[in-house]
Structure 1
Amino acid sequence: MVGVPLTTLPGTPGADAPVHFSLDTTDVDEARAFCRRMFYGPLRVDPVGDRSGFAFHGDVVALGSITVGEISYGSDIRVAIADLETSYHVLAPLTGVLRSRHRGTTVLADQTRAAVYRPVGDIDLDWPGSCRLLSVKVERAALERELDAALDQQIVSPLLLGDSFNLTEAPGRTWMALVQLFFGELLRGRGLATQPRMAGRWRDMVVSGLALTVEHPYGEEPHGMRGPNRPRTVKRTLDAMHAEPWRPFTATDLAGIAGVGVRVLQESFRQHVGMSPLTYLRRLRLDGVHAELSRSDPWQVNVSEVAYRWGFTHLGRFAGAYRARYGVPPSQTLRERR
């Protein structure tokens, strides 16, 4: 696997620095490990039938809250993914047809229709060797904040999104063209898209464009999709954690930001986010460490300094939590950059 920073990497968490990773392999285990590292840990890739034609190709660009990849396997495979938890996801075939099952709904995705995934519910994919697609991962909080801001109203978390959208009509056609242009420019390198400020704006356009493209019930009749609104207290707390994830927040600190008691905030988070505030903060920090280790030069940084920078002060507990989330120790993630 090759990981190529497209710009000079910044020294602080959250700064924009597009990074390109690529892999071509005929080894199923190597392809599986690449996809787990780029997208999700709880992911299975199993060839169907003859493996002789298996030839994985992956080009992936990671930029802050989004990850875009062009992926193909060369032979028929079956993919199983557990709950995405922290992300929304779109699969848009460039060739072939993908059969997708998610939350009781089957979608046939092709060049005319993209499949959309919420952060809850297992995903099963029948992926033929003829299918090459764009895989777009968007951080859960980023899309939810964008839709919340665009509509200026409280929304359900996770978002009540449709299972697919049309790619041949606006706005789906426009969003797909934007993603392809963004992805292509970053792969070619040396253009304006590789500059952090421009890349950050382009990333924001991808997120806001998706918020305006996917089907949702907000701003109109919910059609039976009603759910509890996410309180402003939860939103304020999420915004504070994403703005300064390395800050040593306590439960009392977060409750003070929200303007409610600790127990009230904890119950609100369990109801509307699915976990406690401090659990969410730990996952946010782990994702930040993982992203930084994945794109850093192992000769210039070490695991301890990255962990401290993201707010982890007990390295033993950090290492255990990291391994539980990603399936490998943090040092292995950094070594794979060599």
Structure 2
Amino acid sequence: MSTPGHVVFDSDDLDRTEEFLCYSYAPMRIGSGSRDAGARITRVATETVSADELDLHFDMSYDVDPLGRICLCDIEAGTIEDHRVAGWTESADFAPGDLFSFAPPDRPYSGRICRARYSITMLDPAVLTRVAGTEKPVKLLDHIPVSAAGAGHLRNAITYLRDQVLSAPDIGEHPLLVSTATQHLAAAVLTAFPTTASEERAGSDLDAHPQALRRAIAFIEANPHLDLTAADLAQAAGVSSRAVQLAFRRHLDLTPMAYLRRVRLDHARAELKAAAPGQTTVTQVAARWGYTRPSVFTAHYRAAYGELPSRTLQDTSTKSI
């Protein structure tokens, strides 16, 4: 899908379920002791990320071709057993409470799902690389999170993306919200799992010079409405992502994303000031500039300008009368 979409699948026919799974994920073959089995699957998705919730009332074997995506599974009930990935020496079993990566994007896998209720979140690997700001594609080095805290943070990011962003009925009108939440999910994946990004330390202090900072700032100020990452700023500045981070820290005592947020706030403020009475709301302006939660927008706005965004809008409306 090129725009956010919502799909609900509900059937007790295994052939239809297999057809839907093949269409939604990748070519696969499933087998069960019964040809009459209940399944309910809901999906919200964009071109780069999808979040599914599945409830299967039967035991099902699976044999899946490479997905080409990072595929995260979080089990709520039931089990996944005898899970095997090409290149693994042993199989693995998963139970309620387990959050794991099914397989590397380029490897097939197989196993058995036993009357399970679980979620699947799939992410384009290119998003990880963009967010990490590395020169080489980022790969996960293990299928299990490094800590319970990392798994909890990742689970929260998945829930937020699925329930608060992709499920919103008008989310197609706010692409910046989707891209921001997707980047947040990618950052949570990078934190939760060991990856090749932690092994790459590109850039040096010598590259963190004022000229690179000026080029990055000019790029931000010309494109605040775009889905920007540190990698994009690095390309615009002609240095590494690490050098961009160092330049902002050294010369402005800010991160590049904090500077980008301030520029977006400035645009939001200008929009509030220019609004005619009844033309817009604070919530609508916040959404246009990447804020899903108006309360967060209000807190950032007040910290930056010393007043509430509703007051700015109110003052503008008052002056127009």
Q: TM-score, normalised by structure 1?
A: 0.52
| Secondary structure, counterpart of 2:91 in structure 1 | strand
How big is the shift at 1:196? Answer: 2.8
What is the CA-CA distance between 1:114 and the residue it aligns to? 2.1
Deviations 1:184-227 (A, max 9, x none): 23575347797332222112211221122112254359xxxxxx
Alignment-derived partner of residue 185 in structure 2: 206
Across the aligned residues of Structure 1 and Structure 2, the Cα RMSD in angstroms comes to 2.7
Q: Residues of 1 paired with 2:153 and 2:69: CA distance? A: 22
State the partner residue of 2:70: 88
1:126 Cα offset (Å): 0.8
3-state DSSP class of the match of 2:57? coil
Given that 2:166 and 2:178 are in contact with CA atoms closer than 8 Å, whether structure 1 keeps it comes out as no
| 3-state SS, counterpart of residue 162 of structure 2 | helix
Q: Is the 8 A contact 1:24 1:56 kept in 2?
A: yes
Looking at structure 1, the residues matched to 131 and 92 of structure 2 have their Cα atoms a distance apart, in angstroms, of 26
Which residue does the alignment assign to 1:5?
none
Q: Judging changes above 3 Å, is the alpha-carbon distance between structure 1 residues 194 and 68 closer, same or farther for their aligned structure 2 residues?
A: farther
Distance 1:98 1:19 in 2: 28
In the alignment, does 2:92 pair up with 1:107? Answer: yes
Structure 1 residue ranges without an equivalent (≥5):
1-12, 222-338
Q: CA deviation at 1:110?
A: 2.9
Greater RCO (CA < 8 Å, at least 6 residues apart): 1
Question: Are 1:107 and 1:164, in contact at CA under 8 Å, matched by a contact in 2?
Answer: no
Aligned match of 2:79: 97
**Do the aligned partners of 1:92 and 1:110 also contact (CA within 8 Å) in 2?**
no
% same residue: 15
Q: Distance in 2 between matches of 1:189 and 1:216?
A: 32
Relative to structure 1, the CA distance from residue 21 to residue 186 in structure 2 (aligned partners, 3 Å threshold; closer, same or farther) is farther
Residue number among 79, 89, 111 corresponding to 1:125 in the alignment = 111
1:159 aligned onto 2:142:
no
- The offset of 1:59, in angstroms, is 0.2
Which whole-Å CA distance do the structure 1 matches of 2:34 and 2:107 have between them?
30
Name whichever of 18-27 and 133-142 sits farther off: 133-142
- Determine the C-alpha separation between the residues in 2 that align with 1:218 and 1:67: 23
- Report the AA paired with residue 164 of structure 1: I
Correspondence for 1:183: 162
Report the AA paired with residue 129 of structure 2. Answer: E
Contact 1:119 1:158 (8 Å CA) reproduced: no
Contact 1:38-1:60 within 8 A present in 2 as well? no
Structure 1 match to 2:198: 219
Q: Which has the larger radius of gyration?
A: 2
Displacement after TM superposition at 1:69 (Å): 0.5
- Specify the alignment match of 1:19 in structure 2: 5
> Equivalent residue of 1:97, what SS?
strand
Structure 1 residue corresponding to 2:21, chosen from 4, 26, 35:
35
**Alpha-carbon distance change, 88 to 190 in structure 1, aligned in 2, over 3 angstroms:** closer
How far apart in 2 are the matches of 1:194 and 1:172?
Answer: 31
How has the CA–CA distance of structure 1 residues 78 and 89 changed in structure 2, closer, same or farther, with 3 Å as cutoff?
Answer: same
User: Alignment partner of 1:141: what SS?
Assistant: helix
More helix, by proportion: 2
Secondary structure of 2:111 counterpart: strand
- Counterparts of 1:40-51 in structure 2, within 5 Å, are 40=26, 42-47=27-32, 49-51=33-35
Q: Aligned residue for 1:286? A: none
SS in structure 1 of the partner of residue 54 of structure 2: strand
Count of residue pairs the alignment pairs up: 196
- Taking the TM superposition and a 5 Å limit, the aligned residue runs for 1:301-312 are none
Query: SS at 1:126's partner residue?
Result: strand
Q: CA deviation at 1:80?
A: 0.7
> Partner of 1:170 in structure 2?
149
Match of 1:260 in 2: none
Q: Is the 8 A contact 1:92 1:115 kept in 2?
A: yes
Aligned residue identity for 1:172: A
8 Å CA contact 2:85, 2:108 repeated in 1: yes
* Equivalent pair of 2:6/2:167 in contact (CA under 8 Å): no
